[in-house]
Structure 1
Amino acid sequence: MFRSALVLTLVSLLSACAAAPSRAAAVRTTPLPVPANTRYVEGSFSGTGGLKLYEASWRPTSGEPRAAVIVMHGLKDHADRYTELASALVAEGYAVHAFELRGHARSEGERVWVERFDEYVEDMKLFVQRVKAKEPGKPVFLFGHSMGGAISTLYALDHPAQVNGLILSAAALKPGKDISGFRIAMSGVVSTLSPRSKLLESEDTLFSRDPQVVAQMKSDPLILQGNGPARTGAELLKAMETIGKRRAELKVPLLAMHGTADALTNPEGSAELVANAATTDKTLNRYEGLYHDLVHEPERAKVIADMVAWLNARSPLPVP
């Protein structure tokens, strides 16, 4: 869980709800560079409850893809930030598909708000179905970062037959050591009494050791600047509790990656998932000294290469 994500005080309990929430989607201000030999397509689809959710895909311009990789972003994040990862995967013959969470970036919905965490998982279910229809017969792998890792894990627990593997990057699977049982209990109280209080906090400087990445985050119009609502933080804590209770049910091939210096999500959550998962095909990669956002750290080439090698070992090349 994000460090100091839920700053729960008596003042918080007495605070009024935030002003009328915005449902407007953000917009990109500069064109996205498209990697060579890549067909890039943007669009939207109807998520749970009818919200219009943004989607994008990167596919090889020639030949059949060997598999599809679905990217699920986290908080303070969006699909464009995975262009470098998508480029590396397309070069290896993968089709990459991503969508943006409700209330994030170009998707509709109250900013960073979710009534129930299951809404995220239900949106992912719809998206996986869309990708399978676009990539018929191809293996489908999930890549989930941070909160997106929790969403992807819950989906894989509920629908193991729909995915061929799960890759987790700094997944939010266990509260941090500084989040006491009392604070977790109080998060539910605040979520009920003042659900839109801006208490879900994460510091940009803790995402990456690369100062350019941090500067880009601070000026990115697709990233909500400031704190998110208490309800979303409380729902994420509930999701972590559910994953902790069900992790022994996980049956799909698993690669969990975490930086040892991650101060935003607890590395122990990744280690415990790998230790307890039912699948025998499971790997834990610990990256010494790396912060939270592994594919935006100075050592991201190593992280991406490890992912590609893991996928290649489980995705045979299509027959010519």
Structure 2
Amino acid sequence: MKSSTFTFIDRDGIAIFVYKWEPDIKPKAVVQIVHGLAEHAKRYTRLAEALCNKGYICFANDQRGHGLTAGDLTEATLEGNAGVLGLDGWKGVVNDVYQLSKIIIKENTKIPLFLLGHSWGAMVSQDYIQEWGNQISGCILSGTSGDYTANEEVKNIVNAEIKEIGLTTPSQKLNDLIFKANNTSWENDEGATGFEWLSRDKKEVQKYIDDPWCGFITPASLWLEFFKGLEKIYHPENEKKIPKILPIYFIAGSLDPIGSKTVGIKSMISRLERYGIKDVSYKFYNDARHEPFNEINRDEVVNDLINWLDSHL
């Protein structure tokens, strides 16, 4: 596998940092990876290596306010940068992913492009396929929520936080309000860290904890943008814009709180089928949590993904 990096300038003048992984064998397709909230694209190197071994080129950009797009991956650059998306930030994040797609397509005109988003990245991908789903050959949604109900109380708290501490200051209050509930099922585990909801693999959880650019406290402005994005992607008229012929593959752990332990995802699958999406499939992994590619059964997850990709070439 050959790895390299580059940057491109997005519509708002932001330098977006990109990882590229290329196989040593003839490539048969490209997988563009969209990472989750409060993490970064380099965490997907192991997945990219597995895909490269099977002939897939991989790309992944660090999103606005994340990774090397925001700083230098040290704790010193967190303040004022981490999670800061900028004006109309959700739309900017989605557009950045599409802008990278255009670069990929220009470089790889003869092979298919698949989009793979995890968590926040899956929801960004849902927005993408509503706008440009006809540009890709398939979409993989890992650890998505599948549903969203607007909570006016939380939105009011977000707006109050912005008034009190500003747009870019990390909000511990919102972090506690939104994230602490994710670990409810494991909060009484011996030595609980608050991040057990991510994976059963304690080593992977510890790597996440030890990485200053993972699990960082985000500013209130990010949540304002995120809620705008959720309202957009889960509106029925927007879900109906997804191309009927676009293959979609859902991946989730059966205990993932983000997808309400698959309840939210099953609801989305039913909706998409009702809207006439012809190729919707899924794989739920028993007892797995939020990060299937960092789970104890990750080899199984990756093999299933490769089989799905191979079947859609």
Q: TM-score range by the shorter chain?
A: 0.7 to 0.9
Give unpaired runs (5+ residues) of structure 2.
72-80, 180-193
2:3 aligned counterpart, secondary structure: strand
What secondary structure does 1:50 align onto?
coil
Q: Do residues 247 (structure 1) and 218 (structure 2) align?
A: no
Give the match for residue 272 of structure 1. 267
1:206, 1:264 within 8 Å by CA — same for their partners in 2?
no
* 8 Å Cα contact 1:79/1:98 also seen in 2: yes
Q: What amino acid is the match of 2:250?
A: A
CA distance in structure 2 between the partners assigned to 1:133 and 1:89 by the alignment: 21
Q: How does 1:290-309 map to 2 (within 5 A)?
A: 290-309=288-307
Is residue 2:206 matched to residue 1:200? no
By how many angstroms is 1:165 displaced?
A: 0.6
C-alpha RMSD of matched pairs (Å) = 2.0
The question of 1:77 aligning with 2:39 is answered yes
Q: 1:135 to 1:237 in 2, by over 3 A?
A: same
Percent same amino acid among aligned pairs? 25
Letter paired with 1:219: D
Q: Does 1:235 align with 2:225?
A: yes
Task: Choose the corresponding residue for 2:206, options 215, 218, 226.
Answer: 215
Residue 265 of structure 1, CA deviation: 4.3
Q: 1:190 to 1:162 in 2, by over 3 A?
A: farther
Counterpart for residue 3 of structure 2: 40
Return the structure number with greater helix share: 2
Deviation string 1:140-180 (CA, Å, 9 cap, x unpaired) is 100000000011110111012111110010014434xxx87
Paired with 2:201 and 2:38, the residues of 1 have a C-alpha distance of: 16
Structure-1-length-normalised TM-score:
0.79
Distance 1:263 1:49 in 2: 34
Instruction: Work out whether residues 79 and 100 of structure 1, in 8 Å CA contact, stay in contact via their aligned partners in 2.
Output: yes
Residue 106 of structure 1 aligns to a residue whose secondary structure is: helix
- Write the distance in 2 (CA, Å) between the matches of 1:304 and 1:263: 21
* Alpha-carbon contact 1:146-1:265 (below 8 Å) kept: no
| Total equivalences in the alignment | 273
Query: How much does 1:136 deviate?
Result: 1.5
From 258, 282, 285, give the equivalent of 1:284: 282
The gaps in structure 1 that reach 5 residues or longer are: 1-37, 316-320
Secondary structure at 1:103's aligned position in 2? coil
CA contact (8 A) 1:78 1:222 kept: yes
Higher RCO (CA < 8 A, seq sep 6+): 1
Residues 220 and 258 of structure 1, relative CA distance in 2, 3 Å threshold:
same
* Structure-1 separation of matches of 2:157 and 2:300: 37
Is 1:181 the counterpart of 2:151 in the alignment?
Answer: yes
CA contact (8 A) 2:259 2:265 kept: no
TM-score by length of 2: 0.81
1:113 aligns with 2:84: yes
Q: For residue 255 of structure 2, what is the aligned residue in structure 1?
A: 261
Partner of 1:33: none
d(CA) in 1 for partners of 2:161, 2:306: 40
* Contact 1:262 1:291 survives alignment (8 Å): yes
